[in-house]
């Protein structure tokens, strides 16, 4: 008889998923701080429009950070929680001193590309091990971020 965790996932599969989710969490945390910085430091003719958009974006990222950490806990694992670890783990890099709106939007688009790719990989893994909860979460994020990426690309012209 197979040993399953409290939600019915084999422990080694839960650990594998949590490792990937922790990688995703690190990327979200770095992107969150980058977008927060864009919100604070944006200048120029699109200030009001982008200042509000960046606030909407970082609030959404913060919500997802919490959801990802809680999913890791649901899998019986521990979420990463130190920025030094996030910086080492994240594919998204810290962005500093960007004030131009279009440059900020391009950075956000680059970050979404990374997130979407990671989420697709986690979605596939979750499907392979029968973790519908994680797969559903990733599917929701992918759908939303693909639309947001399209809109941001349209903004850039």
> Structural domain boundaries of the chain?
11-156
pLDDT in tens, 1-58: 566 778 899 999 999 999 999 999 999 999 999 999 999 999 999 999 999 999 999 9
Please list the residues that pair with 100 across neighbouring strands: 43
Question: Which token pair is 71?
Answer: 């999913």
pLDDT in tens, 79-131: 999 999 999 999 999 999 999 999 999 999 999 999 999 999 999 999 999 99
Residue 100 CA from chain centroid, whole number: 23
List C-alpha distances in Å: 89 to 25, 81, 100, 156.
Answer: 9, 12, 27, 30
Residues in the chain: 157
CATH superfamily of the 11-156 domain: Ferritin, core subunit, four-helix bundle (1.20.1260.10)
- CB contact at 8 A, 65 and 123: no
């Amino acid at each position: 008889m197979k040993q399953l965790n409290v939600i019915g996932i084999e422990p080694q599969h839960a650990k594998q998923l949590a490792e990937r989710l922790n990688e995703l969490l690190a990327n979200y945390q770095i992107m969150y701080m980058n977008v927060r910085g864009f919100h604070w430091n944006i200048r120029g003719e699109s200030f009001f429009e982008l200042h509000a958009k960046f606030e909407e974006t970082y609030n959404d990222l913060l919500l997802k950070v919490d959801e990802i950490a809680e999913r890791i806990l649901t899998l019986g694992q521990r979420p990463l929680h130190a920025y030094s670890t996030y910086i080492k783990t994240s594919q998204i890099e810290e962005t500093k001193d960007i004030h131009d709106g279009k440059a900020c939007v391009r950075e956000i688009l680059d970050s979404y590309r990374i997130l979407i790719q990671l989420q697709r990989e986690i979605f596939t893994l979750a499907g392979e091990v029968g973790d519908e909860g994680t797969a559903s979460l990733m599917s929701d994020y992918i759908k939303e971020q693909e639309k947001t990426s399209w809109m941001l690309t349209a903004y850039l012209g």
